[in-house]
Structure 1
Amino acid sequence: MKVAIFASGNGTNFEILAKKFANNEIMGQIGLLFCDHPDAHVIARAQKYHIPVKTFTVKECGGKRLYEEKIMKLLQKFQIDFIILAGYLRVIGPTILANYDGRIVNLHPAFLPEYPGLHSIERAFADKRQQTGVTVHFVDAGLDSGPIIAQEHVPILATDSLETLEQRVHECEHRLYPQVIKELLPQFNQKEHNNQ
């Protein structure tokens, strides 16, 4: 089972996953990090684990369709079975969805369907909600609208600043996402085996 991780930024979730794959706590192998920001810190994290890195932008490719086609060629070249989004800030388009239907998962820092899209933690905090959360879901053509795999609430305390809330949401992400991936990949592998 070879997975690709897509990321755009700092890569804290990426590194936690990479460590667990490296220690055989999660079945499979990270075959590729794809990053759409050539200067993102996640690239250095991947290099530390000797994970192949590919990075390019939509602009370099001349548009979204060509960008996705180039990603697809990468996924085929590296023989990727499953895609994990870890802070990837672009919507997955129809080319990749058609080829990886039911094989792409995302981590979202809100209790979906609340606060889909960007700046979810900030929006929940600004709305003075009593709680927000973390969601792991399959990716479909909508915005954070795919089938939910797991969710946890994160309380918003009266004493919270945005920074302390973000820290607790990220702590929840760092625990929940690897746990879900660890349980999900063997199920997917067994399903693939049964279909052969």
Structure 2
Amino acid sequence: MLETPEAMISPPLPTVWPRFRQPLRLGVMASGAGTNLAAIAQSIQSGQLHAQIQVVVYNNPQAGVAVRSTRLGLPTVLLNHRDYASREALDGDIVQALQAHDVDWVIMAGWLRCVTSVLIDAFPQRILNIHPSLLPSFPGLKAVEQALAAGVTLSGCTVHHVELAVDSGPVVMQAAVPVQMQDTAVTLQARIQTQEHRIYPAAIALAAMGG
């Protein structure tokens, strides 16, 4: 079987990942469909990622992630950002929910809200995010559309530590995705998302090792 361009650019990940003395206790934050949550859960179920998902926090009452999380039997908490007067107040309740479920790593899996020092200071160097571009190129919203508008031939995704500036923290892992001439935002996003599902669980293990 011929390898896809993505496979040739992004080498295979190891089939055996590090096992920690205790499973990593993850709190997942999501705003959308929850496909990265599903990929992380699958890696845990398969024994690749030695972790457990303690809680899923979501901010959009209509988000599909709530259905996925419930089907997986995970504790699920809705904190609707529209109910809060400030980002700090929302983050304060997020911190309380994560701490109540004994979380030690926070995993943003399609969290579409800027976070504040309230959250970052509660979990220093233990918050990860995944972004659909090869950072530092195209930070912020609509990264795929930004890439297409710029006419780049290579895009991808990045797992990085979260800092106050949007999409600015140290990179943990990246995967490259060639941009095809006929690509639209939908088709390119779909191929990038495949790589997100591939690298995010491995990046969590790497970050926990100090990588």
Taking structure 1 as the reference length, the TM-score comes to: 0.90
Counterpart AA for 2:57:
F
- Return the alpha-carbon distance in structure 2 between the equivalents of residues 184 and 147 of structure 1: 10
Partner of 1:17: 40
From 49, 56, 76, the counterpart of 2:99: 76
Matched-pair contact (CA < 8 Å) for 1:16–1:178: yes
Question: Which runs of structure 2 are paired with 1:48-63 in the superposition (5 Å)?
Answer: 48-63=71-86
Counterpart AA for 1:91:
C
CA apart distance, 1:183 = 3.2
Contiguous gaps of at least 5 residues in structure 2: 1-23
- Return the alpha-carbon distance in structure 2 between the equivalents of residues 175 and 136 of structure 1: 11
Contiguous gaps of at least 5 residues in structure 1: 189-196
Structure 1 runs, 4 residues or longer, greater than 6 Å off: none
CA apart distance, 1:24 = 2.8
Matched, 1:109 2:132: yes
Matched, 1:45 2:68: yes
Matched, 1:130 2:148: no
- Return the alpha-carbon distance in structure 2 between the equivalents of residues 53 and 134 of structure 1: 27
Matched-pair contact (CA < 8 Å) for 2:132–2:158: yes
- Return the alpha-carbon distance in structure 2 between the equivalents of residues 58 and 163 of structure 1: 27
- Return the alpha-carbon distance in structure 1 between the equivalents of residues 82 and 187 of structure 2: 36
User: Which structure is higher in helix share?
Assistant: 1
- Return the alpha-carbon distance in structure 1 between the equivalents of residues 59 and 40 of structure 2: 19
Matched, 1:88 2:111: yes
For the aligned residue pairs, the C-alpha RMSD in angstroms reads 1.6
CA apart distance, 1:177 = 1.1
* CA deviation profile, 1:121-166 (whole Å, cap 9, x unmatched): 0111122211112111000111100001111221111232332211
- Return the alpha-carbon distance in structure 2 between the equivalents of residues 161 and 58 of structure 1: 31
Matched-pair contact (CA < 8 Å) for 1:25–1:182: no
Matched-pair contact (CA < 8 Å) for 1:107–1:134: yes
Partner of 2:191: 168
Partner of 1:193: none
From 168, 178, 192, the counterpart of 1:155: 178
SS in 1 for 2:169: coil
- How many residues were matched structurally? 188
Counterpart AA for 2:91:
E
Q: Which moved further from structure 2: 49-58 or 20-29?
A: 20-29
Matched-pair contact (CA < 8 Å) for 1:84–1:104: yes
Name the % identity.
Answer: 31
CA apart distance, 1:25 = 2.0
Partner of 2:14: none
* CA deviation profile, 1:52-93 (whole Å, cap 9, x unmatched): 000122331332222111111111211110101100011121
CA apart distance, 1:31 = 0.3
Matched-pair contact (CA < 8 Å) for 2:155–2:178: yes
